[in-house]
């Protein structure tokens, strides 16, 4: 409740489903139509479209219709946003470890510093 980042919610939620991740993987190899994306999956076209709606709401995928074919492509910018969130936390943790290491190294040869007596 400290802060809100709707896009991040939607992005991770979108990536949490294996079918949607498979679609992202497919789209990373190039744009595709809805039925092309549906082909490898053993679910109804409707279900695929619903997954695509989740992906679009998350900003990970964009699509446009030409004639009767809707062509989908990934939005690498969004992919990078998610990547960066994780990277920032990870490096935050690594910085902490560094500080801890430095502290331990600095106090290695002064076991006790008259803290209380």
* Residue 19 or 79 having the CB closest to DNA: 19
Examine residue 36 and tell whether it contacts DNA (CB under 7 A). yes
Report the site for DNA in 38-97 (rule: CB under 7 A): 38, 42-47, 49-51, 54, 65-70
Number of residues near DNA (by CB under 7 A): 25
Rounded CA-CA distance 48/97 in Å is: 44
Contact positions vs its own copies (CB under 8 A)? 1-5, 8-9, 12-13, 15-19, 21-22, 24-25, 28-30, 40-42, 74, 76, 79-80, 82-83, 85-87, 89-90, 92-94, 96
Give the burial class of 55: count Cβ atoms within 10 A of its Cβ; 0-12 exposed, 13-18 middle, 19 or more buried.
buried
Rounded CA-CA distance 16/117 in Å is: 56
Tokens of 97: 């470890």
Question: What is the side-by-side order of every strand in the sheet holding 69-74?
Answer: 32-33, 69-74, 61-66
Q: How far is the CB of 102 from its own copies (least distance, A)?
A: 15
* Residue 33 or 81 having the CB closest to its own copies: 81
CB-CB contact of 20 with 54 (8 Å): yes
Applying CB under 7 A, the residues found at the interface with DNA are: 13, 16-17, 19, 33-36, 38, 42-47, 49-51, 54, 65-70
């Amino acid at each position: 409740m400290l802060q809100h980042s709707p896009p991040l919610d939607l992005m991770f939620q979108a990536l949490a489903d294996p079918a949607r991740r498979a679609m992202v993987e497919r789209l990373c190899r190039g744009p595709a139509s809805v039925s092309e994306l549906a082909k490898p999956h053993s679910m109804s076209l409707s279900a695929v479209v619903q997954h695509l709606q989740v992906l679009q709401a998350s900003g990970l995928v964009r699509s446009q219709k030409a004639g009767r074919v809707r062509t989908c492509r990934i939005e690498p910018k969004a992919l990078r946003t998610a990547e960066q969130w994780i990277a920032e936390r990870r490096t935050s943790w690594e910085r902490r470890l560094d500080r801890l290491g430095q502290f331990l190294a600095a106090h290695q040869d002064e076991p006790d510093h008259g803290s209380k007596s």
